[in-house]
Every structure is written in structure tokens, then in C-alpha cells.
Amino acid sequence: MPWRRFRKKVERSIDVSKSIEESLDDAADGESEEDAAELAELDDASLLEAATGEPEEDRAPSELGTRLRDALATEEQRGGLPSERPLARGTSRSHEGPSEEDPRAAKRVRYPESGVDLSVEAARGLRLKNPVMTASGTFGQGVEYAELIDVSRLGAIVNKGTTPNPRPGNPQYRIAETPSGILNSIGLENPGAVEVARRYGRAWAELGVPVIVNVAGYSVEDYVYVVHEMTGTPGVVAYELNVSCPNVRGGMLFGCDPDLAADVTRAVKAETDLPVIVKLTPNAPDVVAVARACEEAGADGLTAINTVLGMRIDTERRRPMLGTGSGGLSGPAIRPIAVHITYQVAQAVSIPVIGAGGVTSAQDALEFLMAGASSVQVGTATFADPLAPLRVIEGLAAYVREHALGSIREVIGTALPRTPE
Ligand SMILES: Cc1cc2nc3c(=O)[nH]c(=O)nc-3n(C[C@H](O)[C@H](O)[C@H](O)COP(=O)(O)O)c2cc1C
């Protein structure tokens, strides 16, 4: 909507009795109602005008109505409206080239990152147009967000952890607020691999953004099964293995043991030709050893990091706040840990590293890139601001411009110790 004022940021408390998906829905409902009322009041528009961005035909002209009509008329003369409005579910928009339906689209849509070389190799065999992805479990299946933001501007999206069978997730409460972060124990709630492929495959292909499937399981066979079932799903370009799951045989987390992590990597590599990324857990005694073992087993990339174990206690009930007791800490609170691990891992392996943990801005993303990551994931930040990943892209483009760089790739690894010539 060309006339729309910049959205005022409202801090909303998280209702810990609801799942994160329910909280997001509530927040989105509340925001659009507030926006509509605020716009109508401030700009003298009717609620319908404010909500739809279209002038009401049989209403006495208001100042905004007049401005809207003028704007519509001018844009129509120019050949169409700019596509700033988020897309409806299942529709797609590409800004990299003219669409078949509308060859003028590419000329009309110009984003702050247009014309800046942000492309990176996120994993061996996985080139992305920019280094910003959404983190697994924080962006649903991607299609839900297509109604809020232009997801085709993202480098990639990573879907919610996918297991062989449907999983209802963990008992409530599953989210607790912490200083600079959240604790979650959502517990891999998902409809199972077959259903994920069936429900989302077509929509993914139409989103105009590559999809990385996050795979989880409790045995090596589980991971292989999920990848087998997802094979050929439209839109899918790679797999990310969530190895922060306990192995049913022995109970040790796959990602805590170099041999177990290597076993699952090797088995999945044998199942697929797509790039395989292993997501490291900071809860491993020796993350670098796990990273090396995965590289040797054929991993094409590594994500650093998954959430950090943590706990909060309800002092009235004298019990842990989360239904599971402990949960995974995410958000800015874990960023220094994540940057440290990225820095260590990037020096130990030669495959690309994806940085994750507390990225909220381009500045944060640059820390990861300079620590040796070639791309980043934005997770918890999108709960407070669904536009956060797009702002990161815009900020990185601004950095490339301001520092007169040829591409964003010039900053990757610049903070790593210099190797003697
Ligand atoms: C609510 C929630 C659910 C998550 N679900 C998954 C998941 O299904 N699979 C996974 O590998 N990581 C999952 N994660 C971890 C994130 O993908 C990410 O690695 C972590 O939160 C650190 O990034 P952030 O601080 O930007 O959120 C989840 C995180 C949160 C907050």
C-alpha cells in the first residue's frame, strides 16, 4: 500500500499457555485491527479503506480517499501498482526476472537490495541469492508467512522439524520468556513427512524461495525415511539434519557424539543427491569434533547453532515453568555463544557454515559472516518482528554499498585469525 505509514512497533507479551503458532495468529489479528483503527483515525479513512487500501466507492471523499484515488490513477497510468503488499497464500513473486504473466513486474519491483551482489554458497552445491534464511521452527512451513511478508526476497526458508510420523509436540507450557530470549520446548510438533510433502510441496514451489527441509528422528532409519519420503517434493533444495534428538538406542543426542552424528550424515548422504547440512548442538561436549566428523562423513554444510539448554522455575508453583522441565534457549541471549562456535567450527572445516543464534539485525548477521559463516538464519527475532529477516537483507545490502564492496562474500571470515602466507 503506497500510502501506508510505517508500522509502529508494539511490544506484545507472550501468553505462555499457548503454542507459538497460536500466539503468532493472535498477534497478527490484534495488529491488523489496531493498524486499521489507527490509520482510519489518523488519515480520516474509513475502516474498510484502511484495512483494504482501496477507496470506498460510495463514501463521501475524505482526504485519504482523494489521495488514494490519485495514487491509484497515477500508478495505473504508469502501468500498474507497485507490489508492496504481501502475497496471498500460494501465490508467488520473483524480483529476479520478469514473470511469465506480467513481463513488466521486474521493472516495477525494486527492493533496497536490488543490484547488490549478496549471493553466497550456503552449503556445497547450494547457491543462494542472499545469505539470509529463516530458522527451523520459527517460520512455520513458510507458506503462513507469505501472507505477511514477501518471502521470495529471502535466501531460503527452513521448514519446521519433520519426523517420520505425526507428532503432537510436548505438554504445556512450551514457551517461557527470559532476558533477551525465549525458552521453548515445542517438541517437533508436525504432521509427519508424508503429510508435510503432500500439504506443502506445491505451495513451496510457488513461493519463489528455496526450501530446506529440517529433518529430525530418533534413529538413523528415521532420518533416512524422512528424506526418502520428501524426495521429489517441489521447492526442496536441501536437507538440514536436526541432530539435537536423543537416539532411542542409548539415549545420547545424535549431535553430542561425533560417531553418531557421522552415522546419520553418511546414511542420509547415501539416500539423496541434494546437499545435506548438519545442525550442530551447542550442548555437545566437543562441537568442533562433531563438526569434523560430519564433514568427513560427507556433510555439505553445517549450521551453528541449535538452542542452548536452559530452565526457568515458577517460584509460586515451585516447579519448572516448562512442561518438559528444561528447554532450548534462543534469541540474542545466545548470540555470543553462537558466534564463538561459528568462529571455532569455521576454522576446523572447509565446508560452508550457516550461523544461527540471536540474529536480529544486519549488524548481528555481519558478526557471524566475519566469524566465518557464509550465511545466517533468523529465528526468534521473527516472533517480535516478522520483517526482521528482510531488514537483515536490506542492512547487508547497505553495508556492501557503504563499504564499496564487490559483494557480501568479501566480508566472510574477515575476523578469523590470519593464516601465514
Ligand atoms: C519455537 C522454536 C522452535 C524451534 N524448532 C526447531 C526445529 O523444529 N528444528 C530445529 O532444528 N531447530 C529448531 N529451533 C531452533 C532454531 O531453528 C534456531 O537454531 C535457534 O532458535 C537459534 O536461533 P535464534 O536465536 O535466531 O532463534 C527452534 C527454535 C524455536 C525458538
Instruction: Say if residue 326's pLDDT is above 80.
Output: yes
Instruction: Say if residue 387's pLDDT is above 50.
Output: yes
Q: What is the pLDDT of residue 246?
A: 87
Q: What is the pLDDT of residue 80?
A: 36
Atom of ligand 1 nearest to the CA of 136: 17
Nearest residue (by CA) to ligand 1, atom 12, is: 136
Instruction: Say if residue 84's pLDDT is above 50.
Output: no
Instruction: Say if residue 205's pLDDT is above 70.
Output: yes
- Nearby residues of 408 by Cβ (< 8 Å), 6 or more positions away: 116, 117, 118, 119, 120, 130, 131, 369, 396, 399, 400
- Compute the distance from residue 106 Cα to the ligand 1 centre, in Å: 34
Q: What is the mean pLDDT of residues 59-69?
A: 44
Pocket of ligand 1 (CB under 6 A): 20, 135-138, 160-161, 182, 184, 186, 188, 214, 242, 279, 306-307, 330-331, 334, 356-359, 378-381
Nearest to residue 247, comparing CAs of 275, 267, 271? 267
pTM of this structure: 0.78
Q: At which residue does the C-alpha cell 538440514 appear?
A: 240
Nearest to residue 144, comparing CAs of 330, 386, 420? 386
Nearest to residue 287, comparing CAs of 263, 273, 308, 310? 308
Q: What is the mean pLDDT of residues 330-337?
A: 98
Which member of 126, 224, 245, 293 is catalytic?
A: 245
Q: Which of 134, 138, 340 to mutate to test the pocket of ligand 1 (most atoms within 8 A of CB)?
A: 138
Q: What is the pLDDT of residue 30?
A: 46
Instruction: Say if residue 364's pLDDT is above 70.
Output: yes
Distances 121 to 74, 238, 281, 348, 351 between C-alpha atoms, Å: 41, 13, 22, 18, 10
Q: What is the pLDDT of residue 247?
A: 83
Atom of ligand 1 nearest to the CA of 242: 11
| Phi-psi map region of 416: left, alpha, beta (phi>0 left; psi -120 to 50 alpha) | beta
Q: What is the mean pLDDT of residues 213-231?
A: 97
Q: What is the pLDDT of residue 308?
A: 97
- What percent of the chain has pLDDT above 70? 74
- Compute the distance from residue 152 Cα to the ligand 1 centre, in Å: 21
Question: Sorting pLDDT into bands at 50, 70 and 90, what band is 103?
Answer: low
Instruction: Say if residue 14's pLDDT is above 90.
Output: no
Q: What is the mean pLDDT of residues 340-357?
A: 98
- What percent of the chain has pLDDT above 90? 71
Question: Sorting pLDDT into bands at 50, 70 and 90, what band is 421?
Answer: low
Q: What is the pLDDT of residue 248?
A: 81
Contact 383, 391 (CB under 8 A): no
Q: What is the pLDDT of residue 64?
A: 40
> Is 256 designated active site?
no
